Amino acid sequence: MATVTSKLTISSANLLSHSLNIVTTSSATATHTTGLSRSKITSTAKGTASGQVTLYTSGDYTSPNYLYVKNTDTTKTNYISVFADTSSDDPDLFYIPGGSFAFIPLTSGVTLKSYATVSGTVVEWMVFGTEA
């Protein structure tokens, strides 16, 4: 087992009428991981399964799990969309602009896939399974 620590810092000197400084840290004991992966997304639509990248498959690990996902494109307007492929309407859950990332907790009952606004966008991702 391995300890995985994530740390998020949000700070700004001029966003609010006072300075903003939020720092939070979380640790989890990971028993499994998918390993760090990078893949080109060639699908630019949800309805085009060929070229989509599967980030997490439902039931791979017992909840809670954690997903790290990064859009390696440097153009902010080139998005990666992440959607739930196990729902009847496959809803988009969130999108990641170029150069940005997300680190989110997951439930084990959903398959997550991604498509991009620009074919060839590279997505980097890793899942940590805690089997808690």
Please state the domain extents for the chain. 30-129
- What is the pLDDT, as a whole number, of residue 62? 80
Q: Answer whether 114's CB lies under 8 Å from 51's CB.
A: no
Residues 107/60, Cβ–Cβ less than 8 Å: no
pLDDT confidence of residue 131: 74
Mean pLDDT of 101-119: 92
pTM: 0.89
The predicted pLDDT at position 132 comes to 61
Q: For residue range 21-58, what is the model confidence (pLDDT) as tens digits?
A: 999 999 988 888 889 999 999 999 887 778 999 999 98
pLDDT at 7: 94
CA separation for the pair 84, 90 (Å, rounded): 5
- Please give the CATH topology (third level) of the domain spanning 30-129: Jelly Rolls (2.60.120)
Phi, psi of 89 (to 5 degrees): -105, 5
* 107 band by pLDDT with thresholds 50, 70 and 90: confident
* Residue written as token pair 């150069």: 99
pLDDT value for 47 = 74
Report pLDDT for 69.
97
Arithmetic mean of pLDDT, 98-114: 92
Order of strands, sheet of 112-116, starting from the edge strand that comes earlier in the sequence = 53-56, 112-116, 80-84, 92-96
CA pair distance 78, 52, nearest whole angstrom? 15
Mean local confidence (pLDDT), 4-21: 95
The mean predicted confidence, pLDDT, of the chain is 91
